């Protein structure tokens, strides 16, 4: 039996991520009570039907009033407005966090609205699915997955430690880094893959109707995997690309250069270039599978695309 880490937890936004936190922290026995607020009355009602919390509020200010920890679980474009609404009502010493897939823009949007007497510890569980809403939540979502925390220098280490313990009790491995570093890493590991999936499914759906129906009929697992990712929530992903513009454009520039190299190799019948890349990428996949969610680094091998 784990000790209670936060007597009163408040969750603002109760979709896939918020609902999973409610279920996982309840199961771990790390929170005393859970207050829930979300923008849509229908979603709040559904959260109550699912029994995700102990108290439900239309007004986020009411939900956070006595909270020891508040986790904002809304699309990144809404985090600033939520911080503005709850800021004046936060209890001194309260730990305020979020789960947004982008960190620097969320910090810029939230921090100005938070009083000096709270501890702001931004977070991002790198775990999710293409499903959204409170019905999509499940207690095991964070098991053996990373949760990145990006506290600013000078934030009370005891507050950071409390939040890290909450995540660990939900099964996550916790890692600290700066918000800017997080955004660069996630741009290539998460944001670009989603952009590629949205794009390839869009390209396929724009094909002339004859070919398009064949694409759907014969879609092999490669294309099917892309359609799963491309089914992810449009609001959430629009906000991510708007909020992580610089890092995504940086990674997209590199990606386009490498795609040009592959395009040239195919046009020139340069099998060696194709074979060398595919051999290297296979090794990366095997090293990732071998380490699972371990802390070891995958073997990215050596490459030279003419960059210093």
Ligand X SMILES: O=C(O)C(=O)Cc1ccc(O)cc1
Ligand Y SMILES: NC(=O)C1=CN([C@@H]2O[C@H](COP(=O)(O)OP(=O)(O)OC[C@H]3O[C@@H](n4cnc5c(N)ncnc54)[C@H](O)[C@@H]3O)[C@@H](O)[C@H]2O)C=CC1
Q: Among residues 25, 37, 97, 190, which is the contact residue for ligand X, using CB under 6 A?
A: 190
Site size toward ligand X, by CB under 6 A? 8
With contact defined as beta carbons under 8 Å apart, do 103 and 122 qualify? Answer: yes
Report d(CA 299, CA 141) in Å as an integer: 27
Which span sits near ligand Y by CB under 6 A: 94-102, 144-152, 211-219, 274-282?
A: 94-102
With contact defined as beta carbons under 8 Å apart, do 10 and 35 qualify? Answer: yes
- What track of x and - describes contact with ligand Y for positions 221 through 240 (by CB under 6 A)? ------------x--x---x
Helices (H) and strands (E) in the chain, counts: 13, 9
Site size toward ligand Y, by CB under 6 A? 30
Query: Which residue's entry shows tokens 């990712």?
Result: 229
Q: Among residues 5, 11, 16, 251, which is the contact residue for ligand Y, using CB under 6 A?
A: 16
- What track of x and - describes contact with ligand Y for positions 43 through 62 (by CB under 6 A)? x-------------------
Residue 101 touches ligand Y, criterion: CB under 6 A: yes
Counting Cβ atoms within 10 Å, is residue 243 exposed (0-12), middle (13-18) or buried (19+)? buried
Nearest distance from residue 59's CB to ligand Y, in Å? 10
What are 38's two structure tokens? 């979300």
Instruction: Tell me whether strands 31-37 and 6-12 are parallel, antiparallel or unpaired.
Output: parallel
| E strands, 158-246, in order | 173-176
Nearest distance from residue 115's CB to ligand X, in Å? 28
Q: Kindly identify the residues of this chain, within the stretch 91-130, that bind ligand X according to CB under 6 A.
A: 101, 126-130
Order of strands across the sheet that contains 123-125: 123-125, 146-149, 173-176
Residues interacting with ligand X, by CB under 6 A? 101, 126-130, 190, 229
Residues interacting with ligand Y, by CB under 6 A? 12-18, 38-40, 43, 73-76, 78, 81-82, 99-101, 124-125, 128-129, 132-133, 233, 236, 240
């Amino acid at each position: 039996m784990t000790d209670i880490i936060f007597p009163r937890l408040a969750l603002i936004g109760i979709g896939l991520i918020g609902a999973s936190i409610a279920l996982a922290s309840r199961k771990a026995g790390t929170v005393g009570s859970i207050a829930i607020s979300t923008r849509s009355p229908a979603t709040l009602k559904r959260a109550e039907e699912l029994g995700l919390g102990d108290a439900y509020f239309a007004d986020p200010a009411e939900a956070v009033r006595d909270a020891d920890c508040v986790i904002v679980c809304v699309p990144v474009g809404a985090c600033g407005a939520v911080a503005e609404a709850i800021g004046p009502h936060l209890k001194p010493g309260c730990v305020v966090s979020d789960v947004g897939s982008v960190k620097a823009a969320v910090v810029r949007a939230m921090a100005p609205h938070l009083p000096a007497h709270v501890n702001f510890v931004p977070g991002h569980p790198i775990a999710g699915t293409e499903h959204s809403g409170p019905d999509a939540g499940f207690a095991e979502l964070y098991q053996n997955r990373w949760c990145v925390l990006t506290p600013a220098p000078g934030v009370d280490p005891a507050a950071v430690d409390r939040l890290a313990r909450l995540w660990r009790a939900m099964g996550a491995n916790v890692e600290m880094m700066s918000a800017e570093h997080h955004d660069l890493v996630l741009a290539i590991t998460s944001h670009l893959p989603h952009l590629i999936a949205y794009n390839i499914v869009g390209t396929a759906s724009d094909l002339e109707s004859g070919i398009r129906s064949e694409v759907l009929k014969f879609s092999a697992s490669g294309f099917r995997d892309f359609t799963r990712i491309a089914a992810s929530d449009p609001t959430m992903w629009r906000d991510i690309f708007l909020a992580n513009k610089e890092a995504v454009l940086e990674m997209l520039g590199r990606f386009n250069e490498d795609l040009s190299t592959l395009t040239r190799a195919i046009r020139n019948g340069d099998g060696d270039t194709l074979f060398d890349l595919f051999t290297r990428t296979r090794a990366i996949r095997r090293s990732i599978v071998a380490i699972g969610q371990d802390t070891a680094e995958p073997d990215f091998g050596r490459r030279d695309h003419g960059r210093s």
